[in-house]
Structure 1
Amino acid sequence: MTKDNKPTRNTSGRGQRDLRVRVKTAKGRKISSTRWLERQLNDPYVQKARREGFRGRAAFKILELDERFRFLVPGARVVDLGAAPGGWAQVAVPKINSNNARKGKPVGRLIGVDIQEIDPMDGAEFHVLDFLEDGADDKVKAWLGGGADVVMSDMAAASSGHKQTDHLRIMALVEAAAYFAFDVLEPGGTFVAKVLAGGAESDVMQVLKRHFDKTIHVKPPASRADSSEKFLVATGFRGGVAD
């Protein structure tokens, strides 16, 4: 830098230093784990989540979806399936005002469930539950104590390493979430669910189209470009009995 604050020209013939964090493969750690760690360390959304105090980068996915579709509003009653570690709830709580921080605005409610424990959060009610077990949907309905305006699902099965198997597993979760949504959503409600591209999602898509005014696939900017992850967003629930 010169005295007049103008940058000096690089005359060394070398390019700019590569600022990407690289991780060496440690003994006992798989190459795939090393690649995942390197990707996490270099992911701008991971870094942004840390700076802004979110529990994970997934918070930005629901934030971006809500910015487009506007379903998280003051007073909304929300069911968050696959809620751990709580990033989606962190976004939803202030928007629906379930923590009553926005005095004079309608107060919403958020019920989050996951097979894992979730650290407590003001304005959210978390429960440990396997959503595929018998009677799980009845438990969630009892905790909710009425209808919902939004059902959102970030549920995902543990990876098997086989792409088609993983796709079918997550679609089973999406289907369970969708039929639960048919049972609890108020007219005009919204359903949001994570899916993996693979073909079987078209069947769920067709069912959703019969019950909602609009149903589309969306890949928010926070989803990694190299991921097969995308989201089903169904708005304008028509009510009625599920198929």
Structure 2
Amino acid sequence: MLQNLANQDNGNWDKRLLLSSVPRVGLAAKFWDTPPEDQVRVIDVNLNGFIYASHAAINVFRKQGYGTLINMGSVDSEVPLAYQVPYAASKAGVRSLGLALSQELRIDGYKHIRVVTIEPWAADTPFWRHSANYTGGTPSMLALDPPVKIVNAVLRKSLRPRREVPVGWKAHSVWMFHRGFPRLTERISANIAHKYQIKAGPPVPDTVGAIYQPMPAGRGIDDGVKQRMKKQRKQEREMRKH
């Protein structure tokens, strides 16, 4: 679809910016418990999709001499999380794609073409509901950000591009801490992932989620995960009292 749009040269749409935010899919599991074909599928959607979209966008920008390409990475682009091996690998690839592409553009003299990688914290979207899951528990994450925070970051950086953009204080803090203390940051992050993706969530059966086919449930933007987690914690406290 993006390639078809890029091929249209009729002047009826603004080519200054293309957001290459192709659909992403998630997978929560121990690496050795996950079917290889599911892991390959995550890489195919989350990394190869960006390669196709970026290729189409950059060729438009090269013809006109300017433009801003915005790719959606993740805090996983900088700090890979346990139980998200293929997802973390794909998001690290998106980050490297942007950095390497920026250097190629610089070397070839394209001063007015910018590549931005947005790196948000985990957001309260249907991503968690749609993820493949082989952990035995309901996947979630600590202190989810509202989706509007990510949207605002995209809008700001479309006007003031920067190569890497951690979104919000949580992502920025982890991003900076990892630069100074990489192993400690990865260890703490893994422990948090273990708590919220393995131990804390209510038990659920294994599922491939939406990595192969769309799911009818959870078609909105904000999925109310934070509210469900609060309700769950309240119920657990009440049960402990009795």
TM-score by length of 2: 0.30
Structure with the larger RCO, 1 or 2 (CA within 8 Å, 6+ apart): 2
TM-score by length of 1: 0.30
- Which structure is higher in helix share? 2
